[in-house]
Structure 1
C-alpha cells in the first residue's frame, strides 16, 4: 500500500488560522499538496472559511475520491491542529488511491472521558435544554466518578453497560435515564471523532423480573395513609382517595375541580368507554384531605413548578402532577411495612377488601371507611378499637 506525501504551499501556523478574517462569501486557503509516490498531485489540503465563521480542514481532489466526492472534510480547527490535519489528509488520499472505500478512522485517542464530558457541556451552550441538563446530571453523578481519567477509546461497551445495570438494580427508572444520557453523550463523541462508533448503540436493559402482587391488610393500608399524611399535599389527598375508592392513581392525578362535590362527598367520574359518568363516594378521610387543598380551577393536584409558572390569566392551564417512583419509595420507608409494595398492590388490596360490592352501593363504602378510620386511630393511639371490627369477605 503506497503512502501519500505532503508538500507545503504556504507557511501558515495555528495562530495564523485563528486570525483569518471572515468574508461575505466562503473562501479556501491552500495549505499544501498531496501526492502518491512519483505520480502527479492527487489532492490539496485546504482551509475552508465560511461566512458564518466556521473554519475546517478539507481535502479537495483533482477528480473524485472513492466515495465519488470532490472534497472530503477532515474536521474543525478546534479539533485538529495543522499537523493532525496533514496526517489525516494523507491517510484519506492514500486510502482513495489504493482503492480502499472505507474512510480511515479519524479519532483522538488521547482525550479522557472527563475532558470530553467538559467539552460536551461547553458545546451545549449557556442555556441547554432541560433534557440535556438532566442527562448531564445523570452522567456527572453515576458515570463520571469512575471514568473521569479513563481514555475514551479504552472504555468498553461492557463497562458502560455494567454501570447502567448497577444503577438500574437500585432504581430502574434512573437506570433507563442514565442509559439514554450515556447513549446521547457517546453519540456526540462519535460525531466529534473521539471514538469510532457509539458503543451503546441499540443497547437495551433487560426486562425486569415480574414481581408477584402483594395483599395489604387494613392495618397496612392505614399505615400507608399515615405516611402520606406526613408527606402532605398533594400526595396525602391522592393516597386518601386511592385507599377510599380503589380508583387508579392515573385517574386520580387528573382529577378536575368541577368533578368534586365536597358537600355531598361525591366524585363525578367520567366513564372510560361509553362516556357516561358515575358517582364515586368519598369517605370522610378523603374529604378532609381534599379540603386542605387550595381552591383552584382545573387540575386539583398540581406540582409546585406549575403553580409558579401560572401567574397570568392567559397562561396555559396547569398539567397534573406525576406520582413519581420516589414518592412510593418514601411511602414504603415511612409506613415501616416489611417488604415492598406498589400502587397496583394498593388498589388490588382495596378491591379485595371491598369484594364484589358495586361502587355505587354507598353503605358498603361507608362501612369500609369506618374500618379504615378505626385502624388509623389504633395506629395513632396504640389503643385497640372499642368496637369489634367487621370482617370483609375476600
Structure 2
C-alpha cells in the first residue's frame, strides 16, 4: 500500500502496474476510500470501513467505467450511512452491471436511518426543545424500554404496522392497558415526527387503533399491603426503594420525586418546594415533610459526579435520586426494581401511582377537608385566584402529613388493630374551611 495522496484523474491515468498481485492507493481526502491496481491493469475503486468490529472492503466500481467523481460520491454516501449506524455493504446497493460495465447507473441508497439513530434525533431535536423535562424523561423512557431493543438496527422505513401492533398487543396481554395507551401515543408521535422530517413517507402507527382503557384505576393499598411493600423496599439496595417510600409518605407523583433536587429541600423549615417547571399543572408546589419523610431523605447518600479535568474537589449530583450511569440526570428506569419488589412483597398487582391514591384515601378517612387535601396533592383549582398562595392551608397540610406518617409507621410495625385510620383524632377535620393568610414558615 502506498502513502495517502489526493487522487486525481491525471494520477489515475498514469498509475503503474505492480509486478505481482495488487497495489492499493488510499485517498487522503475521504477516509477508507482509494483505488487498487492489479498486475493485469484492472483499476478498482474501494471503500474500507469498520463496522461491528469487522473491517469489510466494499467495491465501488472500476475505472474508467465510473469516474473518480462518481466513486468519491459513493464513498461519501457510504460514510454517511456509517454515521447513521448502517452497514454500507447492505444499504449502498450497487448493481452488478454498475460495478463491471456501466458508469451511468446511480446506486440506490437507503435514506432512512436505523431506529436507534432516529430515536436519538427525536429526543435531542424534538423532546428536548418542545417538552417539559418531566415529559422528556417519561417519553424517552417509554420509547427506549418498549421499542429500542427489538428495533435497534432496523431502518425506520422497514418497520411495519404489524411490528408496532405486536408490541402494543403484548402490553394489553400483560394486563397493562395504561402502558399500552402511552406506548401507542409515544410511538405514533415519534413516527409522525419522522414523516414531517421526510425520513419516511408514511407512519406504520397510523393504522393502529388506540388501545381501550379499562377505566380509571381505583387501587389503593391496605395496611397489610403497606407493610409488605415497605419491608420489601428496606431489602432493596437500589435507591428506588427510598423513592417508593417517599411516594407513599408524601403522596407526590413518581416523576416529581424522581426529579427531586437537593436545592429544592428546606429540611430546617420542614418542606420541599417543587418548581412549576416540574409539576403537572405548572404551578410551584410546597410539600410539607413529615418526620418520616425527613428520615428517608436523611438516609439517602449524595452521589458523587465523575471527576472532570480541572476539578479540584468532588462534585455531587444535584439530584437526590440520580441515574446510576449518568448522575447528572435523574433516575428514570424503575422496571427492574419494581419487579424485585413485587416478588418480595407478594401482594396483588400495584403501581407506584397507587401509593398516591392510598394516601388520598387515607386522608379522606381521617377527615381532612377537601381544600387542604387538594393543596397537598397539588390538584388544579376550579376557581381562579388573583394571587396563587403556595402556603395556603400550610398548617393543615403539615398536620395531615404528620397523621399520615403516624399511620404508615403503625402499619409497618404490624399494629393494624390499634392503628386504623379512623383511630386518629384530627383537630383540623373540625375547623371550618377559611383561607389562611399563607405566610412562609
TM-score by length of 2: 0.46
Aligned to 2:132: none
Q: Distance in 1 between matches of 2:159 and 2:294?
A: 56
Which sections of structure 2, spanning at least 5 residues, go unmatched?
1-16, 50-56, 79-87, 110-143, 188-198, 304-315, 365-369, 377-393, 430-441
Aligned residue for 1:21, secondary structure, equals strand
Q: Aligned to 1:216, which of 216, 220, 223? A: 220
The structural deviation recorded for 1:136 is 12
Cα distance between partner residues in 2 of 1:90 and 1:303: 54
How many aligned positions are there?
284
SS of alignment partner, residue 411 of structure 2? helix
Match of 2:44 in 1: 47
Q: How does 1:232-243 map to 2 (within 5 A)?
A: 232-243=237-248
Counterpart residue number, 1:193: none
After TM superposition, give the deviation of residue 281 of structure 1 in Å.
1.9
SS at match of 2:295: helix
- Report the Cα distance in structure 2 between the residues aligned to 1:295 and 1:79, rounded to whole angstroms: 48
For residues 164-191 of structure 1, what are the alpha-carbon distances to aligned partners after superposition, in whole Å with 9 as ceiling and x for unaligned? Answer: 5676566979xx7xxx9xxxxxxxxxxx
1:138 to 125, 134, 149: 149
Structure 1 partner of 2:292: 285
Indicate the residue corresponding to 1:345 in structure 2: 354
| Matched residue, 1:57 | 61
Q: Deviations over 1:87-111 (max 9, x none)?
A: 5668979x98xxxxxx8999xxxxx
Shift of 1:341: 2.8
Quote the Cα distance in structure 2 between the aligned partners of 1:289 and 1:302: 16
Q: Secondary structure at the match of 2:235?
A: helix
Q: Could you tell me which residue of structure 1 aligns to residue 408 of structure 2?
A: 372
Larger Rg: 1
- Distance in 2 (alpha carbons) for counterparts of 1:200 and 1:290: 50
CA-to-aligned-CA distance 1:209-249 (integer Å, 9 cap, x gap)? 32441321332344333322222452232222211221111
Which SS does the other structure have where 2:26 is aligned? coil
Q: Let me know the Cα RMSD of the aligned residues.
A: 5.8
Q: CA deviation at 1:299?
A: 1.4
Corresponding residue for residue 258 of structure 1:
263
Aligned positions of 1:5-84 closer than 5 A = 19-22=23-26, 47-48=44-45, 55-57=59-61
Deviation at 1:333, TM superposition (A): 3.1
Specify the alignment match of 2:3 in structure 1: none
CA contact (8 A) 2:45 2:61 kept: yes
Superimposed CA distance per residue, residues 320-346 of structure 1 (whole angstroms, 9 cap, x where no aligned partner): 1114233333333332222x3323333
Hey, what's the Cα distance between the residues in 1 that align with 2:402 and 2:218?
Answer: 25
Counterparts of 2:161 and 2:45 in 1: how far apart (Å)? 40
Task: Return 5+ residue gaps in structure 1 as ranges.
Answer: 1-11, 32-44, 63-68, 97-102, 107-132, 144-154, 181-197, 308-317
Offset, 1:388 = 5.2
How many angstroms does 1:28 deviate by? 7.2
TM-score, with normalisation over the residues of structure 1? 0.51
Question: Quick one: distance in 1 between partners of 2:411 and 2:405?
Answer: 10
Distance 1:266 1:158 in 2: 49
**Alpha-carbon displacement from aligned partner over 1:364-393 (angstroms, at most 9, x marks no partner):** 221122122211111xxxx54445541799
Aligned residue for 1:302?
A: 322
The SS at the match of 2:326 is helix
Query: How far is the alpha carbon of 1:159 from its aligned partner?
Result: 8.1
Instruction: Say if 2:25 and 2:36, in contact at 8 Å, map to a contact too.
Output: no
- Is the alpha carbon distance of 1:257 and 1:23 closer, same or farther for their aligned partners in structure 2, counting shifts above 3 Å? closer
Within the alignment, does 1:319 sit opposite 2:339 as a pair?
no
Q: 1:20 to 1:90 in 2, by over 3 A?
A: closer
> Is 1:328 matched up with 2:328?
no
